Amino acid sequence: MSFIVALILGIVEGLTEFIPVSSTGHMILTAQLMGYNDQSPVMKTFEIVIQLGAILAIALVYRQRILNLLGLQKDKPLFANQAPARRLNLIHVLLGIVPALAVGYIFRDHIKSLFSSATVLWALVVGGIFMIFAEWFNKNKAHVTAKEMDGMTYKQALLIGLFQCISVLWPGFSRSGSTIAGGMISGTSYKAAADFSFLIAIPIMCAVSGYELLDSYKYLTSDTLFYFIVGFVVSFVVAYVVVLAFFKLIQKVQLRHFAYYRFVLAAIFWLFIMN
């Protein structure tokens, strides 16, 4: 561990955690480029800590929505005539996270065995194709029944949760990529799918990171604490800026643009690194 490694990994985590390019895939590829073992206990603990920094950033962005869901603050409907049953609530969130949490817990050991550069490269390509298909499928305006997150149905939330399982079982596929694309296929707009994807990232990442940290907190020592703090802060700041920028540019940066980036990254890494 060094200051430069902590800085770079914090930036990579913050940049990639919430956009559909796969933060897990980028961390694995970055590890190979920098020549360190990202499966060592210390590095896995470090990755958990910087992921918590990204979680804190998204929680800050969605702080009012979280308070609304928990009943700690009254909010105003996004639509004047919106029926209460069509408002986003905790049931939507549970439907969006329970399938992935269950699959992740059941297949935890098997999933860890899949962490490799080759697995990630294939996931980048297949996930990109899936995202392009979702965008094409979503072009039918009659298909889109939820233009905003508050207009989503329970069925759409559950479908997004099921699509999210793909990213759990296939490292590098991208959690946000699978949920946003899944939302668009299920009948939500690009914006609504992205909004819901970011919101459900908070509980699912807290659960996963918290569970993993129970096994590895002992590696938070006086020798590593400084680097962990650097990575945490950098990840928090970068993730916060990225999420705000994403929503400002959401109409300009379509899902297919992220898919093209994934194809290019996979091709470059395969040609110049793997070979």
Residue ranges for the chain with pLDDT beneath 70: 37-39, 73-86, 275
**Which ranges in the chain belong to alpha helices (H)?**
3-16, 23-34, 41-61, 63-69, 90-106, 108-112, 117-137, 154-169, 175-186, 190-216, 225-248, 255-269
Per-residue pLDDT at 143: 82
> Could you read off the pLDDT of 32-83 as tens digits, one per residue?
888 876 667 888 888 889 999 999 999 999 998 898 888 776 655 444 444 4
Q: For residue 189, give its domain range.
A: 3-274
Per-residue pLDDT at 103: 94
Per-residue pLDDT at 76: 52
Domain count, the chain: 1
Q: Dig out the tokens for 84 from the structure.
A: 């209460």
CA-CA-CA-CA torsion sign (37, 202, 22, 242): negative
Per-residue pLDDT at 233: 96
- Find the radius of gyration of the CA atoms of the chain: 18
State if pTM tops 0.85: yes
Per-residue pLDDT at 156: 96
- Number of Cβ within 10 Å of residue 56's Cβ equals 18
Per-residue pLDDT at 84: 45
> Could you read off the pLDDT of 177-199 as tens digits, one per residue?
999 999 999 999 999 999 999 99
Per-residue pLDDT at 272: 80
**Which amino acid, one-letter code, is at 235?**
S
Cβ atoms of residues 174 and 200 within 8 Å: no
